[in-house]
């Protein structure tokens, strides 16, 4: 049986999994509801256009694809009270004022900025912004770094604290941030999954470049190497259904798709070393690289993806399956059991009651269906705990995103045996 994949269920059951209904408090403001309503309308309009016209390959247009890095969007390094975190893309947006330079902003602003600067589809950007918000302690606002300081809130339209005390993305291990990252070390290996690891960056840039620089022909094998390294060195390494197939996959896909510089010569984008260094906040040359926390920036004369060829949920789903086909040994759920090289897999068949198995994950959109439905199955429906504007906002986003996710045509996941993941000390929330 095939069923639509409800975005509201997926995103906001995740929130209840992280934050019991009893912790919910307050409501979001009328202004926040109005912003989310406008965003939902934009998502619906974009989805309708894609249904009517499909994905159109756009010619390079320097004027529309040029991203401004002067004036109000000039680079300014973060101050001592500004928050920066594990995501170089979000740090970049803050350093150029596309989102608040404090590092705390609304999910609507983060969504629209991700679309404006990087060409991320509004559907994918909204999903990630709201998901990161609930996983870090909120619904309508996000700290891209650590725990927000009260002085940062100012006049921000905010719901901070709606789901209890917000902690920020830096404290979201195995929810927003996961093991085997391309440039960040594993939490239980170094204790610091937020800072760029220069040794890993050296390994990445030493990879033989592909036809478009550090493209997917580079990212796929490097991801495989990072996975194997984590298994061999991190006794609490964990690869969960959502973190393995969606979160970890995204960090590699986004590095090329969203950081590549587009031009007439390279209409699919080219990611060279200087561009990669800029977005990752790295200076110097191989063998003597230097990194300073939170100093990621947009290179001058950088051009984003073509307008109208945004990187959305459907494109991500296709690429995630391609990534798994390139690394079929990574089609696993499980982790180390306390010591390095003790990786033990969990049967996907047992975990899902037979709805998915190791073979069917490679069929159609099943990979992302499994990843997304895992969140829904992991906790009760949070809608019972929300009232007023917060409930209305969820309804708006659900209505806008459900038609997009319904195109995945997912099998119905009735059973999810999360108890099978309790054997892994690094599992955390088990996502």
Question: What would the mean pLDDT of 131-156 be, rounded to a whole number?
Answer: 62
Summary mean pLDDT of the chain: 82
CA distance 358 to 102: 44
Nearest CA-CA partner of 13 in 419, 413, 315, 324: 413
pLDDT at 378: 58
pLDDT at residue 290 greater than cutoff 70: yes
pLDDT at 20: 32
pLDDT at 388: 61
Question: What would the mean pLDDT of 134-156 be, rounded to a whole number?
Answer: 62
Does the CA dihedral 10-14-16-17 come out positive or negative?
Answer: positive
Assign 13 a pLDDT band (cuts: 50, 70, 90): very low
The residue ranking higher by pLDDT, 230 or 160, is 230
Of the given ranges (61-65, 168-172, 315-319, 388-392), which has the lowest mean pLDDT? Answer: 388-392
Question: What would the mean pLDDT of 81-99 be, rounded to a whole number?
Answer: 95
Of the given ranges (42-46, 166-170, 181-185), which has the lowest mean pLDDT? Answer: 166-170
The residue ranking higher by pLDDT, 6 or 131, is 131
Does the CA dihedral 74-78-84-88 come out positive or negative?
Answer: positive
Of the given ranges (169-178, 201-210, 316-325), which has the lowest mean pLDDT? Answer: 169-178
Question: What would the mean pLDDT of 109-128 be, rounded to a whole number?
Answer: 89
User: How far lies 140's CA from each of 2, 15, 262, 271, 396, in Å?
Assistant: 31, 12, 32, 33, 13
Question: Parallel, antiparallel, or unpaired for β 141-143 and 104-106?
Answer: antiparallel
Answer yes or no: are the C-beta atoms of 205 and 260 closer than 8 Å. Answer: no
pLDDT at residue 409 greater than cutoff 90: no
Answer yes or no: are the C-beta atoms of 83 and 102 closer than 8 Å. Answer: yes
CA distance 395 to 146: 29
Q: Of all helices (H) and strands (E), which one includes residue 345?
A: strand 344-345
CA distance 17 to 426: 17
CA distance 321 to 225: 18
pLDDT at 384: 47
**What percent of the chain has pLDDT above 90?**
51
Assign 369 a pLDDT band (cuts: 50, 70, 90): confident
pLDDT at 308: 86
pLDDT at residue 38 greater than cutoff 70: yes
N-terminal to C-terminal alpha carbon distance within the chain: 24
Assign 379 a pLDDT band (cuts: 50, 70, 90): very low
Nearest CA-CA partner of 148 in 202, 106, 205: 106
pLDDT at 46: 72
pLDDT at residue 213 greater than cutoff 90: yes
pLDDT at 242: 86
* DSSP H helices in 234-312: 241-242, 248-259, 273-280
pLDDT at 18: 32
The residue ranking higher by pLDDT, 257 or 19, is 257
Question: What would the mean pLDDT of 352-368 be, rounded to a whole number?
Answer: 90
pLDDT at residue 98 greater than cutoff 90: yes
Write the DSSP symbol of residue 362: G
Write the DSSP symbol of residue 243: I
pLDDT at 37: 77
Q: Give the phi and the psi of residue 411 in degrees, each rounded to 5.
A: -60, 155
Nearest CA-CA partner of 375 in 5, 3, 86: 5
Question: What would the mean pLDDT of 362-379 be, rounded to a whole number?
Answer: 80
Of the given ranges (2-16, 193-207, 208-222, 268-282), which has the lowest mean pLDDT? Answer: 2-16
């Amino acid at each position: 049986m095939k069923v639509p994949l409800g975005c509201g269920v997926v995103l906001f059951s995740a929130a209840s999994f992280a934050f019991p209904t009893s912790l919910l408090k307050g409501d979001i403001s009328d202004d926040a509801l109005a912003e989310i309503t406008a965003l939902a309308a934009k998502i619906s309009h974009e989805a309708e256009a894609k249904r009517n016209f499909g994905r159109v390959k756009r010619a390079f247009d320097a004027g529309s694809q040029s991203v401004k890095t002067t004036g109000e969007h000039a680079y300014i390094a973060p101050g001592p009270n500004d928050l920066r975190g594990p995501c170089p893309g979000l740090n970049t947006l803050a350093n150029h004022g596309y989102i608040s330079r404090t590092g705390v902003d609304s999910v609507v602003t983060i969504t629209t900025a991700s679309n404006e600067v990087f060409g991320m589809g509004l559907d994918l950007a909204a999903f990630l912004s709201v998901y990161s918000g609930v996983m870090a302690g909120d619904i309508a606002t996000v700290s891209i770094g650590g725990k927000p300081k009260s002085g940062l809130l100012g006049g921000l339209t905010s719901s901070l604290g709606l789901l209890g005390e917000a902690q920020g993305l830096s404290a979201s291990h195995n929810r927003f941030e996961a093991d085997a990252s391309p440039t960040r070390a594993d939490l239980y290996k170094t204790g610091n999954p937020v800072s760029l690891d220069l040794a890993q960056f050296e390994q990445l840039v030493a990879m033989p470049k592909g036809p478009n620089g550090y493209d997917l022909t580079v990212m796929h094998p490097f991801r495989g190497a990072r996975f194997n390294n984590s298994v061999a060195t991190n006794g609490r390494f964990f690869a969960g259904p959502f973190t393995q197939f969606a979160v970890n996959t995204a960090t590699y896909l986004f590095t090329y798709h969203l950081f590549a510089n587009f031009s007439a010569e390279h209409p699919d984008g080219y990611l060279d070393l200087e561009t990669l260094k800029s977005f990752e906040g790295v200076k110097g040359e191989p063998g003597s690289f230097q990194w300073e926390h939170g100093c990621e920036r947009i290179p001058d004369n950088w051009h984003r993806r073509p307008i109208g060829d945004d990187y959305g949920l459907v494109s991500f789903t296709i690429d995630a399956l391609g990534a798994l086909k390139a690394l079929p040994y990574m089609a696993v759920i499980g982790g180390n059991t306390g010591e390095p090289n003790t990786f033990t897999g969990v049967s996907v068949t047992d975990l899902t009651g037979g709805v998915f198995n190791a073979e069917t994950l490679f069929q159609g959109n099943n990979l992302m269906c499994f990843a997304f439905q895992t969140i829904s199955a992991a906790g009760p429906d949070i809608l019972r705990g929300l009232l007023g504007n917060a409930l209305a906002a969820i309804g708006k986003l659900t209505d806008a995103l459900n038609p997009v996710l319904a195109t995945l045509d997912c099998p119905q996941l009735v059973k999810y045996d999360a108890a099978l993941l309790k054997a892994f000390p690094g599992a955390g929330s088990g996502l």
